Structure 1
Amino acid sequence: MKIIKVLIADDHHMVRQGIKQILELENDIEVVSQASNGEEAVKLAREYKPDVILMDINMPGMNGLQAIEELKKDEDDHRIVVLTIHQDREYLFKTIQLGAEGYVLKDAESSVLVEAIRTVSNGNTYVQPNMTSELVKEFSRMSTHAKGKEEENILTSREIEVIELIAEGLINKEIAKKLYISEKTVKNHVSNIFKKLNVSDRTQAAIYAFKHNIKS
């Protein structure tokens, strides 16, 4: 069994200890270090190379957002789950833009945090289920962006249309009606999108669309 090494970054000692106790009830999770601010988080992440970093946003000195930005400059693949009180979609969207792989609220059930850690450690992304609607709202608010060459080469124009509608929260039946194609064709497009982008669900596909500004 693989042990998932976790670094906790939060400026409140009692919060860190509480999270540590919760996580260490799991046989496959080990807390290897703790940081009280962004600077410590960056330093300890580079030293311990944890599988997952739990990152608070509001910390003294270097905050969580700055720490994420700094860590994402490294060659090491730092996998980061933001653990925060902020339910604002601006924070959610900003952390995704910076490269965080997960977003969980501090009042979530412990099972949600554990699931996020396991999902992110496996190379996938995780957004707390009740926050995914905020992704859709932010996507709808965004102005049209030119799609990058990388996405242009990976996805067909039809697949880009489909992923855009996925990000807006439409189900396959609605996408089929919108694009005047069969539901079976939509399912095929969705399957191809998942394979090409190496994602396993619609939320992960939507996050990819946000990160890479995929718009038709």
Structure 2
Amino acid sequence: MKILVVDDNALIRLGLRASLAGLPGVEEVREAANGQEALDVVGAFDVDIALLDVRMPVLDGIGALPGLLERCKVVMLTNTDDVDVVADAMTLGASGYIIHGSLPPEGILAALQACLLGGTFTAGLAPWGSPGEPSRGPSEPSVLSVRESEVMALAATGLANPEIAKKLFLSEKTVKNHINSIFSKLAVTSRGQAMALWHQGHRGPVGPL
């Protein structure tokens, strides 16, 4: 995976680059200090996905988003949780919206992997973070079994069902059944939503196998 980090704060860029570059599956991490630099980078290099700040000089994230989407997937990574900004970003085609500090580096990578597979992802916002949609999360904590928790913990790192099956010595069909059960208990309809809840700590008490 080739990642572009776009933020006007040099320390944030440096921190993200250092933390993401050493993770499995990350081939390269490039930087840009504003939206215009980001457009220049994706015009000159292959980029799979961009982590894009909102408020930046020269050209902000919302202004750069349409041009970036012609070349790569985009996930907003910012301190801005204004609902109108979130709505603008997601309406324009961003695959995700993450608030700084809401996910560890491994969680950010899992979000990027989910988005590259065609999913959407939010973290650090009100549940589901999707503008105009009411929360669909469970009103009471969901109870995941020990095995379901093991499966979800691996899925949250971005592993696919065959990889999870291999690590837990299960059949792929069994893993798929556990994933479907997790979706039901967490009241979600996609892997990305389940991952978002997991990384936000909505895991529920652990039940029996």
Q: TM-score, normalised by structure 2?
A: 0.61
Match of 2:19 in 1: 22
Structure 2 contact 3–50 (Cα < 8 Å) conserved: yes
The counterpart of 2:107, out of the listed 88, 107, 112, is: 112
Mapped pair 1:131 → 2:120:
no
Q: Counterpart of 1:97 in structure 2: which amino acid?
A: T
- Aligned residue among 3, 6, 18 for 1:6: 3
Runs of 5+ in structure 1 lacking a partner?
140-166, 173-190, 192-198, 205-216
Counterpart mapping for 1:154-165 below 5 A: none
2:94 is matched with which residue: 78, 95, 100?
100
Q: Percent identity?
A: 24
Match of 1:169 in 2: 135
Per-residue CA deviation, residues 145-192 of structure 1 (Å, 9 max, x unaligned), is xxxxxxxxxxxxxxxxxxxxxx433579xxxxxxxxxxxxxxxxxx9x
Is this contact kept in 2: 1:112–1:128, CA < 8 A?
no
SS, match of residue 98 in structure 2: strand
Alpha-carbon displacement from aligned partner over 1:88-121 (angstroms, at most 9, x marks no partner)? 2222111001111011111123133122111112
Structure ranking higher in helix proportion: 1
Secondary structure at the counterpart of residue 103 of structure 1 = strand
TM-score, normalised via structure 1 length: 0.59
Who is 1:43 aligned against? 40
Q: Which has the larger radius of gyration?
A: 1
Give the Cα separation in 2 of the matches to 1:171 and 1:84. Answer: 24
In structure 2, what residue type is equivalent to 1:58? R
Structure 2 portions without partners, runs of 5+: 139-179, 181-188, 195-209
Q: CA RMSD in A?
A: 2.5
Which amino acid in structure 1 is aligned with residue 98 of structure 2? Answer: V
- Distance (whole Å) between structure 1 residues aligned to residue 63 and residue 41 of structure 2: 15
After the TM superposition, which segments of 4 or more aligned residues of structure 1 sit over 2 Å from their partners?
Answer: 69-72, 129-135, 167-172, 199-204
Inter-partner Cα distance in structure 2 for 1:58 and 1:169:
27
Q: CA deviation at 1:123?
A: 2.2
